[in-house]
Amino acid sequence: MSDQLSPAGVSEHLDRDAPAPLHAQVSEQIRAKILSAEWPAHYRLRSEPELAVELGISRGTLRRALATLIREGLLVQVRGRGTFVTSTALEPSIAQKLTTLSEDFARQGVSVTTQVVSQQVMPAPPPLATLLDLRPGQSVLRLERLRSTSAGPVVWLVNYVRTDLAPGLEQADLADRSLFGLLENDYGLKISSGRRTFTATAAADRIAEALGVPAGFPLLYLEQITYLDDGRAIEYSDVWIHSERMRVTSLLSRR
């Protein structure tokens, strides 16, 4: 037997006698709407109770269907706001919460490779020492990395981390691990807040070459300072983002 839904519904047919379970049928129907652009980027789905009633399925079945699409990176759930269709470009949540790009990519199910270009301890330059509350010349770890997806290079990152709070960090494998995750799990540091500033910039020669774009190509530049729960600065970073392969979106509420 087949369930026919209204034109406004998520799916036109759910076949309860088919070998494919209902949650797989629902996820396939939603996937088709997203990939055909019938449901464009940023489209907000109806609430779970409404969708479940409309489909004639349990909320548990619906949640399994949505979870599949969230893992695939086609949908994203924002607490208190609902479930949204993601963009065809990568849309990390770094404008909403203090996560790393690797954490966001993992949450969206995006396969990413990270190349560690350099990883060395150096004296902190005076402006950076001031930002990190260090004495001039006190050591920091300077970490350069390039993150790429199947579409090509997307992000060039340069991090500076206080070595007095994370001794031996220069020996860590940061190609496969989140920097924040390592600081929290291996060093017991509690990262609680940060400040991020976004601006537009033109790709300089070295960064342009790394990201595979011509010099002067428009990039999104992110400057970040991260703080521990006791107020101490732990990390400063410069991040250059390929503006055609990844965009940053903020979901806002007026109050």
Statement to judge: residues 138 and 74 lie in one domain = no
Statement to judge: residues 115 and 153 lie in one domain = yes
Q: Which residues contact 25 (CB under 8 A, 6 or more apart)?
A: 11, 14, 15, 18
Q: Look at residue 250 and tell me if it is in a domain.
A: no
Q: Into how many domains does the chain fold?
A: 2
What are 87-122's pLDDT values in tens digits? 655 445 555 566 667 776 666 666 789 999 999 999
Using the CB atoms, write b or e for 2-22: b if 16+ within 10 Å. ebeeeeebbbeebeeeeeeeb
Q: How far is CA 173 from CA 36, 80, 116, 118, 182, in A?
A: 40, 36, 9, 12, 10
Mean pLDDT value of segment 201-225: 94
Chain-centre distance of CA 60, in angstroms?
26
Q: Look at residue 72 and tell me if it is in a domain.
A: yes
Query: Is the predicted pLDDT of residue 149 greater than 70, yes or no?
Result: yes
What are 11-44's pLDDT values in tens digits? 457 877 777 888 989 988 888 888 777 787 778 8
Encoded amino acid at 30, one letter: I
Predicted local confidence at residue 137, as pLDDT:
87
Q: What CATH number should be reported for the domain holding residue 9?
A: 1.10.10.10
Q: Which residues contact 129 (CB under 8 A, 6 or more apart)?
A: 135, 136, 137, 138
Statement to judge: residues 110 and 192 lie in one domain = yes
Q: Is 49 helix (H, G, I), strand (E, B) or coil?
A: helix
What are 115-147's pLDDT values in tens digits? 999 999 999 988 888 889 898 889 999 999 999
Encoded amino acid at 204, one letter: A
Q: Which residues span the domain enclosing 12?
A: 2-85
* Domain end position, chosen among 85, 114, 149: 85
The listed range with the strongest mean pLDDT (125-134, 173-182, 208-217, 240-249) is: 208-217
Statement to judge: residues 19 and 71 lie in one domain = yes
Statement to judge: residues 114 and 221 lie in one domain = yes
Q: How far is CA 97 from CA 17, 93, 242, in A?
A: 43, 6, 20
Predicted local confidence at residue 84, as pLDDT:
86
Statement to judge: residues 46 and 118 lie in one domain = no
Q: Look at residue 94 and tell me if it is in a domain.
A: no
